[in-house]
Amino acid sequence: MYDVIIIGSGVIGATIARELSKYNLKTIILEKEFDVALGATMANSAIVHSGHDPIPGTLKAKFNVLGNRMYKKMSEELDIPFLECGGMVVAVDGTQIEELKQLHDRALKNGLKDNEIRILNQGEVRDMEPNISDTVKKALYLLTTAVTFPWEVAIANIENAMDNGVELSLETEVLDINKDKNFKVSTTKGVFESRVVINAAGIYADKVSNLLVKSNYEIKPRRGEYFVLDSDVNLVNSVIYPLPTEKGKGVIATPQYHGNVLLGPTSDYVDLDDKTKTSEEGISYIRDEISKTIKNVPFNKVIRSFAGSRATSTRNDFIIEETDVKGFINVAGIDSPGLTAAPAISKYVTDLVGKRIKLTKKNDFNPVRRVTRINKLDTEDLNELVKRDDRFGHIVCRCENITEGEVIESIHRKCGARSVVGVKMRVRPGSGRCQGGFCQPEVIKILAKELKIDPMDINYNKSGSQILNESTKGEAK
């Protein structure tokens, strides 16, 4: 019997889990996939938006600005990469200057402070961003825009939640939900009982909700496709947005914490089956759109393209509310700026939980998570580390200089990696220019050894995604 069941382990489920772990509650996260955070958290722009563009008065506007103000502290506590690079919305011709001013006013209405936004003239923009398109006349500079590493936001929050007592059950797909006195959540791994259920199932939130109560919204997967540029490309210093349209924030150039540049996303409603497919049209759309704001884009430096789908709802705003069934809370339709809003949403949801269960703070809550990162250490500390454990001297990922020690640590942490992509999400081998060509065989060997399973059983990402098909050496089977 649990106090709270959280369905879904994306950034929303993860931050809620951590927030709840501050209280004396028995909480479990149910995730249907082989690993956490494989939905929209896996594929998005990684931006901590300032809150300049949501429509004033919406939950999006409220939680965006609040979430932005919470990110730095969360990132410090949980050792999550955080790049305070700022951002700018650019007007690519004279006709857009008026819209830029309206956006400036909207940002103020949403609660940004005077000293957090500023209109830049052409010269100022050029000085800050040498590769900005020549047609850019003015820009709205957003000082509080930042960039995070979404995979680690989810994983760090879940790890810290687990350190503080939260449980996680993977490969646990919810099949049915009933309520008599308590909730009974039937899954592929049996029935879980709880007093409160939080539905953070992302793109499947409407379907999960319908298991118990007819939902008053639908989720329409809205796909975004992206390009990743190699880390040796110095294209932009800050997040470069075009002016927003009804379709969203447009195709953005985002400097990533680890040195790459992300170009995207597109915005297209798709069927569930196509939610992570890249398309010919999408690829050419990004090329065309990005060329309106940035010049000299080196498309020959693309090292990856990918797609993910936002959980856009039919209600045009975040849905964060208790349903008619007391204790069943929907946290749905969390598309952009959901990543930014996540920590603020988690507080609000915790308050909703507090209406059903009396919340008392834990005395021994530990807010801190730390990860060993060799590229953060000076030579002296590195050598101390190698003396303690020589596997931190053995580099397995040549593009990003990731050591065997870091890979092993990622496997043995709480919510540890079990697949090749799981290791990549946690410590990044395979993220560089060779895309795992060299390190993937090494990562498979380490996973097999540490998890004590056959290399042929190691998955790429999901269940049933093994990479090795047949052993050709040794005794015949």
Partner 1 sequence: MKQYDLIIIGGGSAGLAAAIEARKNGVESILLLERDAELGGILLQCIHNGFGLKVFKEELTGPEYAERFIEELRGMNIEYKLNSMVTTLKPDKTIQYANANEGFVIVKGKAVILTMGCYERSAGAINIPGNRPSGVLTAGTAQKYLNIDGYLVGKRVFILGSGDIGLIMARRMSLEGAKVLGVAEILPYSSGLQRNIVQCLDDYNIPLYLNHTVTEIIGESKLSKVVISKVDGFTKIKGTEKEFEVDTLLLSVGLIPENGLSESCGIELDPRTKGPIVDESYQTSVEGIFACGNVLHVHDLVDYVTSEAKKAGYKAAEYVRKKLVNGESFRTIAGEGISYVIPQMINKDNLVDNVELFMRVRKVYRDANIIIKGDNKVIKIIKKKHLAPAEMEIVKLKVDDFKNISKNLSIEVEV
How far apart CA 287 and CA 227 sit, in angstroms, is 9
Is-catalytic flag, 49? yes
Residue 352 has φ and ψ, to the nearest 5°, of -65, -40
| Listed residue (222, 201, 250) closest to 309, CA to CA | 222
| SS3 at position 4 | strand
Told to check if 399 binds partner 1 by CB under 8 A, we report yes
Told to check if 393 binds partner 1 by CB under 8 A, we report yes
Cβ-based nearer residue to partner 1, 162 or 396: 396
Q: 83 has which bridge partners?
A: 147
| Listed residue (183, 156, 228) closest to 323, CA to CA | 183
Told to check if 472 binds partner 1 by CB under 8 A, we report yes
Q: Using the rule CB under 8 A, which residue among 108, 170, 386, 451 binds partner 1?
A: 386
β pairing state of 302-313 and 219-229: antiparallel
The piece of 58-66, 87-95, 242-250, 430-438 that touches partner 1 (CB under 8 A) is 430-438
Give the pair of three-digit tokens for residue 52: 């300049």
Q: Using the rule CB under 8 A, which residue among 55, 191, 453, 468 binds partner 1?
A: 468
Cβ-based nearer residue to partner 1, 76 or 232: 232
Return the DSSP state at 299: G
Length of the chain: 477
Give the pair of three-digit tokens for residue 320: 């964060």
Told to check if 471 binds partner 1 by CB under 8 A, we report yes
Cβ-based nearer residue to partner 1, 352 or 448: 448
* Choice among 49, 104, 258, 412 that is catalytic: 49
Told to check if 460 binds partner 1 by CB under 8 A, we report yes
DSSP string across 429-441: TT-STTTTTTTHH
| Listed residue (402, 433, 436) closest to 419, CA to CA | 436
Told to check if 441 binds partner 1 by CB under 8 A, we report yes
Q: Using the rule CB under 8 A, which residue among 241, 411, 440, 447 binds partner 1?
A: 440
Give the pair of three-digit tokens for residue 327: 């204790």
The piece of 51-59, 168-176, 193-201, 280-288 that touches partner 1 (CB under 8 A) is 280-288
Do 285 and 266 contact (CB within 8 A), yes or no?
yes
How far apart CA 253 and CA 238 sit, in angstroms, is 8
- Residues 215-254 vs partner 1: string with x where CB under 8 A? ------------xx---x----------------------
Q: How far is the CB of 228 from partner 1 (least distance, A)?
A: 7
Binders in 290-349 for partner 1, by CB under 8 A: 302-306
Give 80's Cβ-side CA count (13 Å radius).
Answer: 32
The piece of 70-78, 187-195, 347-355, 434-442 that touches partner 1 (CB under 8 A) is 434-442
Told to check if 394 binds partner 1 by CB under 8 A, we report yes
Told to check if 438 binds partner 1 by CB under 8 A, we report yes
Q: Using the rule CB under 8 A, which residue among 176, 366, 383, 449 binds partner 1?
A: 383
Cβ-based nearer residue to partner 1, 117 or 439: 439
Interacting residues of 18 by C-beta distance below 8 A, sequence separation 6+: 157, 158, 160, 161, 164, 166, 346
The piece of 64-72, 121-129, 236-244, 275-283 that touches partner 1 (CB under 8 A) is 275-283
Instruction: Please name the residue that has the structure tokens 């209109």.
Output: 119
How far apart CA 368 and CA 63 sit, in angstroms, is 24
Do 60 and 334 contact (CB within 8 A), yes or no?
no
Q: Using the rule CB under 8 A, which residue among 184, 292, 347, 391 binds partner 1?
A: 391
Binding site for partner 1 (CB under 8 A): 227-228, 232, 276-280, 282-283, 302-306, 379, 382-383, 386-387, 390-391, 393-395, 398-399, 401, 403, 433-438, 440-441, 445, 455-456, 459-474
Q: Give the active site residues.
A: 49
